[in-house]
Amino acid sequence: MSIIGITARQIFDSRGTPTVEVDVTTKLGVFRASVPSGISTGIYEAHELRDGEEAYLGKGVQKAVRNVNHVLGLKLMGMQPVRQHDIDETMIKLDGTENKKKYGANAILGISLALSKAGARELNLPLYTYYAELAGNMNTQTFELPVPAFNVINGGAHADNSLAFQEFMIMPIGASSFSEAMRMGTETYQHLKVIIKKKYGGGATNVGDEGGFAPNLKSAEEGLDLLVSAIEKAGYTGKVKIAIDAAASEFYENGKYNLDWKIPGSSGKLLSSSELASVYEEYVNKYPIVSIEDPFSQDDWEAYEGFCSKLGKKIQIVGDDLLVTNTNRISEAVRRKACNALLLKVNQIGTISEAIAAAKMAAENHWTVMMSHRSGETEDTTIADLAVGIGTNQIKAGSLARSERLAKYNQLLRIEEELGQNAKYAGPSFPYQ
């Protein structure tokens, strides 16, 4: 089948911000995808094209929509959707810039995502199986369901509280299946809600952008203590572990890290890279932490190298802003031994093909890979299928509230049910227990 139509429109994400939705049409139907958006973004990410005009406070995406409808879509008419890599390469060459600034990564990605759904339908394959074949996975009978990392306490740029670090997550590594991981996660989340409400009042259980609670905690230790209590109350001590996304680029300035960056009028608690590393090490020794994402700023390579050398065999050190799902930066991080895990965000790079290449490079270098949503999400569940298909052993899609987050986890439950005995859970093979 050939592409007979490509249409884009402006829709809205979970923050009420405009984003791009694309329909790819073949004789087999209409295949739709929508593009997420981050608020805590790395400077090396592919370019998200915004209108910069009065409407929607400059956040409109009509320029990107026009680029799909009047440029990219017309160039791709008649091509076969199963030629994913060729079509992605065509769009990259048409754009011609290093970071997709001409037509917008949001325009290009919308087409790439929808195109993959059309390709899967043409071959009559589940979307996750199609991604497995695109990635060159030989075994498409048995699939691994990822360990979910539920963001249950929000801070940083995602919440109006004093927490410097952006996400405090729980990971049900000790579950025997993905469905059991969901049970562990939801029960711990509900116990956490009761604990927070009792200690801080009803308003403290309001949730942030990704569905986690956002009480006005004064320190990371306070949040970690809450998680330990909730895990214990739920009865999952030793089975549910803790992960942190520090998003340290947000509080890095002039060579120092300011852990009081969100406190108005504060002179700042300024730390050097080595002092911040010591803080993390203290947390790892005190709490059941198995993963820290973006512990340092996106250009603080030396800090990453030292930290990975010291703790890289004990915990997962995840590169997000450092790597931006870009094979050039992943290659540099491998060479410098700067981290041991990749956060995979499709909109950081802009096409399915490039995202798969990034995941394969990480895996080939014995890294772990965590599939990720963005803080501005839609109901699109593509990343759930992508995580299963290319074999990322983890996924973070937000908390256990807000339907745009649960949509991804619910899709994984459906995939697990469909696979039956051919579904394995990645928890037992997680290397940092």
Q: How far is CA 20 from CA 37, 116, 227, 228, 382, in A?
A: 10, 16, 36, 40, 15
Q: Which residue among 95, 124, 153 closes a domain?
A: 124
> Per the domain annotation, does 133 fall within a domain?
no
Q: Both 402 and 272 in a single domain?
A: yes
Question: Are 197 and 330 contained in the same domain?
Answer: yes
Of 193, 241, 345, 396, which one is the catalytic site residue? Answer: 345
Cα(135)–Cα(212) distance, rounded to whole angstroms?
33
pLDDT tops 80 at residue 159: no
| Domain CATH for 174 | 3.20.20.120
Higher per-residue pLDDT: 13 or 137: 13
Same structural domain for residues 120 and 176?
no
Inside any domain, residue 418: yes
Average pLDDT of the chain is: 95
284 and 384 share one domain:
yes
Mean pLDDT of 220-227: 96
Q: How confident is the model at residue 267 (pLDDT cuts 50, 70, 90)?
A: low
| Residues 113 and 179 both lie in one domain | no
Domain that holds residue 360: 143-429
Question: In this prediction, what percent of the chain has a pLDDT beyond 70?
Answer: 98
Burial environment of residue 137 by CB neighbours within 10 A (0 to 12, 13 to 18, 19 or more): middle
Provide the domain count of the chain. 2
Asked if residue 104 and residue 218 are part of one domain, the reply reads: no
The one catalytic residue in 45, 48, 187, 210 is: 210
Dihedral sign (CA 367, 368, 369, 370): negative
Instruction: Determine whether 377 is an active site residue.
Output: no
- In the annotation, is 256 catalytic? no
Do 166 and 155 touch, CB atoms closer than 8 A? yes
Confidence of residue 62 (pLDDT cuts 50, 70, 90): very high
The pTM for the full model equals 0.96
Residues 290 and 398 in one domain: yes
At residue 151 the predicted structure's pLDDT band, cuts being 50, 70 and 90, is very high
